[in-house]
Copies of this chain bind each other. A is one copy, B any other.
């Protein structure tokens, strides 16, 4: 059902590591007959979503993508779309949410959606710089973000915020590899006492995290009974926000989060 969709799905095979693909190759990748693959490519090309290199005859994403992206930004500026999705999640889980983005080389709070369902809630100062060693978001970023964050772990001085704060690079590195498998992490009062944080990555185009989404729960409500709901929401958000910012999930990323 949907030839148009089948045609569009051919675009999925272009990636940063493989920005140009030949006809036979893409037909094989998509499991299509060469004839149909060619017709689809021609349709996409006419619209400008695909461009053929006249020399090599192979295909790449076309300039129409730029026009559409510009229109997208007009219709839904990045953070606007993110806020909507976070608000929806907030109503589901009834807790506050934080979106952090990697700006240059620091992790910064970009958006905070506070719960309206509880008077006891976690409030976070926006525009705060997030320590990588003390928060769920930070650890997530170390696991899925650019390598330089992990590399400079030793050279940086890691501040201790509470008793639970990790400051030993070795221990952090162990934790980071764990998170890499799980896809998410939590922090039990390692930044502020009484605050449980659950975080998951938001990926960019090259499948490297550009930020994180976190759900902050006060200790009293951080029961194991509520965890499945929180993890499900977290996973959905991770996917949706990745899409929202034009990113791509790694194939190896778990399809759901387990406690």
Q: Which residues of A contact B (CB under 8 A)?
A: 2-9, 11, 14-16, 19-20, 39-40, 42-44, 46-49, 51, 60-76, 81, 204-205, 243-248
Contacts and interface: CB of A to CB of B under 8 A. Distances in A.
**A interface majority secondary structure:** helix
Nearest to A66: B246
Contacts of A9: 47
Contact of A68 (B6, B69, B81): B69
Nearest to A205: B70
B5 A43 contact: yes
A243 B48 contact: yes
A152 B102 CA distance: 39
A144 B192 CA distance: 56
A68 B71 contact: no
A63 B243 contact: yes
Contact of A4 (B40, B62, B65, B248): B40
A5 B46 contact: yes
Nearest to A46: B5
Most buried by B among A3, A6, A71: A71
Contacts of A6: 4
A108 B57 CA distance: 33
A88 B90 CA distance: 54
Q: Which of A42, A66, A244 has the most CB of B within 10 A?
A: A66
